[in-house]
C-alpha cells in the first residue's frame, strides 16, 4: 500500500512539473464604472449585440480606448459632444464622444477621458445630434500611458465610441476654447 501511495505521489508530482504554462493576461487595473446608460438617456437606446463593433472600441491596458463596453442602438436623436484638435480638422468628427458637455478643468477632463496631451490640445468643441438607428459603444476608459512621467488610470467616466461619426451625426455646432483662470 505504501508503494502504491508513493508511486501515485511521484506520478502526480511529475505531471505537475511537466504541465505546460498557460498564458494568463492580467490587467494592471480592473475596469471600473458601468456600461449601462441610465436615466432619461437610457430610454433613447436599445442594448444590441455587435461583437465586431465592441472589439473596435476595447483597448489594451495603458493604450487608451475603452476598458469595458456595451453596444447600443439609438432610437431617438441624441446630443453628443466631442472636444477635438483644431490643428487637425479631420479630427472634428473623430471616434470618441461624450453624452455630457465638458465642464471643469482641462486637466480633469483629460484624466476622466484618458486623453494624452500628445493626442489633442482639446482646443475646440463640437456639439452634434446623433441620428436614430446609429450603433455606438458606451463604456469606461482604459488606462493610458502618455509619457514616462504621465499616465492615466482606468476611469469610471462613460465614453461613447462612434466609428463613423461623419455619417451618423448632424446639426453640428462648433465652439472655441477660451482661457479662464480661477
Domain ranges in the chain are: 42-176
Residue 175 in contact with residue 127, Cβ under 8 Å?
A: yes
Q: What is the pTM (predicted TM-score) of this model?
A: 0.82
Average pLDDT over residues 69-93: 96
The Cα 146–Cα 73 span in angstroms is 32
Work out the percent of the chain whose per-residue pLDDT is above 90: 80
Main-chain dihedrals φ then ψ at residue 121, nearest 5 degrees: -80, -10
pLDDT at site 2: 43
Output the pLDDT for position 19. Answer: 33
Is residue 99 a contact partner of residue 158, using CB atoms and an 8 Å limit?
yes
CA 147 – CA 168 distance, rounded (Å) = 34
pLDDT of residue 180: 80
**10: confidence class by pLDDT, cuts 50, 70, 90:** very low
More confident position, 4 or 25? 4
Determine the pLDDT at residue 137: 98
- pLDDT for position 179: 80
Looking at residue 29, its pLDDT comes to: 66
Section 8-15 average pLDDT: 40
Amino acid at each position: 500500500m505504501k508503494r502504491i501511495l508513493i508511486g501515485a505521489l511521484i506520478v502526480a508530482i511529475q505531471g505537475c512539473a511537466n504541465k505546460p504554462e498557460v498564458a494568463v493576461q492580467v490587467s494592471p487595473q480592473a475596469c471600473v464604472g458601468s456600461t449601462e446608460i441610465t436615466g432619461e438617456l437610457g430610454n433613447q437606446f436599445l442594448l444590441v449585440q455587435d461583437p465586431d463593433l465592441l472589439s473596435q472600441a476595447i483597448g489594451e491596458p495603458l493604450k487608451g480606448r475603452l476598458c469595458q463596453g456595451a453596444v447600443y442602438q439609438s432610437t431617438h436623436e441624441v446630443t453628443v459632444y466631442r472636444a477635438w484638435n483644431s490643428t487637425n480638422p479631420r479630427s472634428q468628427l473623430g471616434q470618441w464622444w461624450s453624452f455630457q458637455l465638458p465642464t471643469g478643468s482641462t486637466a480633469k477632463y483629460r484624466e476622466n477621458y484618458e486623453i494624452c496631451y500628445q493626442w489633442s490640445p482639446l482646443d475646440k468643441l463640437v456639439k452634434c445630434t446623433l441620428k436614430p438607428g446609429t450603433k455606438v459603444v458606451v463604456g469606461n476608459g482604459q488606462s493610458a500611458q502618455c509619457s514616462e512621467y504621465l499616465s492615466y488610470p482606468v476611469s469610471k467616466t462613460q465614453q461613447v465610441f462612434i466609428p463613423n461619426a461623419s455619417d451618423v451625426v448632424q446639426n453640428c455646432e462648433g465652439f472655441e476654447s477660451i482661457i479662464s483662470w480661477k
